[in-house]
Amino acid sequence: MTLEERLQLLITLGQQLQGEDEYLDAVIHRSYHHNLWFTPENINKSINAIALEFLNEQKLRSFTNHYSLDDNIKALKVGIIMAGNIPLVGFHDFLCCFLCGHQSLLKLSDKDPYLFPYFIKMMERLDDRVANYVQLVDMLKDFDAVIATGSNNTARYFNSYFEKYPNIIRRNRNSVAVLDGTESREELGLLRKDILDYFGLGCRNVSKIYIPKDYDFNPLMETIHEEKEIILHSKYKNNFDYNYAIASLNGDKIVMNGCLILLEDNSLTSRIASLHYEFYEDRSELNKHLLDIKEDIQCVVAKDAIPEFELVSFGQTQCPGLSDYADGVDTMNMLLSIA
């Protein structure tokens, strides 16, 4: 397939994903019964984001124009080990490989085993040559490069195992918000999405907020409580109850409403149904602290500029564009350099 043929196929896929598809609906429900975190609402949210942000013709062509893509790139085999924290989270890696003309060897997460194979079937129905560009595998072998996403522990294993190959190894990162107490009700409502979308399971979800000493929690907690239906999800409710019990037993200082627990903690990583907070007194000292831990941060939400950080607008952490690379590593550059 030529580059233009691949582009046209992706654009058509995006259009089809916005239409009715009874079989896709069945796959969505099967995925939900396999993994209760993957609610139909969240799966459709991921699919719509892919269709509108990644497969939109204007955005896709603008993205590819930034790179030296042509029909003379040497096709290689790229192993992709996908995460499974939110639905279809590895689609961007596959998209980059496909645009470059490489063959993707996909090691799917056992948390998300059904959605991606159906996407591949949809693409093969549009052009059966897609089969030459993707292979679902249980174990990576005979590859030229690797893109792997996992926890800090698995990332250490990946670094050791794949050190002889061109690679992108991603580990745990978290997103934070810096508040000053002047945020509007609308901004707090958008921040609620940054915190609770996908149950807070994504690395782009805000897991910690930095707040001034005299911060009034009430507006934030009232706004978050507008998402109170989230507590009706059984797995989320179990985590909420467990975290509340642990915090109570430990005598931790918490702020809570009916659907989220705020816990004062220095860690960036918070448990499901909880959000960490930390007070600051001097904004310049906070900026320095954030720079010290930059390698552990995926996104920063804030109203005022923070040196060496590209801020994400309120409500946009889970709406990445094509150029919003995970961990800030340009996947396309790596895939083109190996060729």
Segment 267-284 mean pLDDT: 97
Q: Which domain holds residue 93?
A: 3-172
Residue range 11-45, pLDDT digits in tens: 999 999 999 999 999 999 999 999 999 999 999 99
Segment 180-198 mean pLDDT: 97
Per-residue CA distances from 190 to 106, 156, 182, 183, 329 (Å): 34, 35, 14, 11, 27
Instruction: Tell whether 104 and 237 lie within a shared domain.
Output: no
Instruction: Tell whether 154 and 7 lie within a shared domain.
Output: yes
pLDDT value at residue 136: 97
120-143: burial string, b at 16+ Cβ within 10 Å, e else: bebbeeebeebeebbeebeebeeb
Instruction: Tell whether 258 and 298 lie within a shared domain.
Output: yes
Residue range 125-163, pLDDT digits in tens: 999 999 999 999 999 999 999 999 988 889 999 999 999
The dihedral over CA atoms of 137, 24, 85, 96, expressed in degrees to the nearest 10, equals 60
Q: What is the mean pLDDT of the chain?
A: 96
Instruction: Tell whether 237 and 125 lie within a shared domain.
Output: no
Instruction: For residue 319, tell me if it sits in a domain.
Output: no
Q: Please say whether the beta carbons of 63 and 128 come within 8 A.
A: no
Instruction: For residue 215, tell me if it sits in a domain.
Output: yes
pLDDT value at residue 81: 97
**339 band by pLDDT with thresholds 50, 70 and 90:** confident
**Parallel/antiparallel/unpaired status of strands 134-136 and 103-107:** parallel
Segment 39-55 mean pLDDT: 98
Segment 188-216 mean pLDDT: 97
Percent of the chain with pLDDT over 90: 97
**CB-neighbour burial class of residue 33 (10 A; exposed 0-12, middle 13-18, buried 19+):** exposed
Q: Please say whether the beta carbons of 275 and 263 come within 8 A.
A: yes
Q: Which residue has the tokens 């094509």?
A: 322
**199 band by pLDDT with thresholds 50, 70 and 90:** very high
Task: Show Cβ contacts of residue 80 under 8 Å, excluding neighbours closer than 6 positions.
Answer: 90, 93, 94, 97, 104, 105, 106, 107, 146, 147, 148
Segment 77-92 mean pLDDT: 97
Distance CA 186, CA 314 (A): 9
Instruction: For residue 98, tell me if it sits in a domain.
Output: yes
Segment 269-287 mean pLDDT: 97
Domain-ending residue, one of 172, 207, 233? 172
How many residues does this entry show for the chain? 339
Instruction: Tell whether 145 and 181 lie within a shared domain.
Output: no
pLDDT value at residue 158: 93
Instruction: Tell whether 112 and 259 lie within a shared domain.
Output: no
pLDDT value at residue 95: 98
Instruction: For residue 312, tell me if it sits in a domain.
Output: no
Distance CA 200, CA 206 (A): 7
Distance CA 53, CA 63 (A): 11
pLDDT at 1 over 90: yes
- Provide the domain count of the chain: 2
What's the count of helices (H) and strands (E) in the chain, helices before strands? 12, 11
Paired with 145 in beta bridges are 78
Q: Which of 92, 112, 109, 90 is nearest to 30 (CA)?
A: 112
Alpha helices (H) along 57-162: 57-64, 91-100, 115-126, 152-161
Instruction: For residue 332, tell me if it sits in a domain.
Output: no
Distance CA 291, CA 285 (A): 10
Instruction: For residue 11, tell me if it sits in a domain.
Output: yes
pLDDT value at residue 86: 97
Q: Which residue has the tokens 């590859």?
A: 143
Q: Please say whether the beta carbons of 85 and 203 come within 8 A.
A: yes
DSSP codes, 194-223: HHHGGGG-STTSEEEEEEETT---HHHHHH
Distance CA 114, CA 240 (A): 28
CATH number where 15 lies:
3.40.605.10
Percent of the chain with pLDDT over 70: 100
**99 band by pLDDT with thresholds 50, 70 and 90:** very high
CATH number where 193 lies:
3.40.309.10
Task: Show Cβ contacts of residue 246 under 8 Å, excluding neighbours closer than 6 positions.
Answer: 252
Paired with 208 in beta bridges are 176, 276
Task: Show Cβ contacts of residue 11 under 8 Å, excluding neighbours closer than 6 positions.
Answer: 55, 56, 57, 60
Instruction: Tell whether 206 and 238 lie within a shared domain.
Output: yes
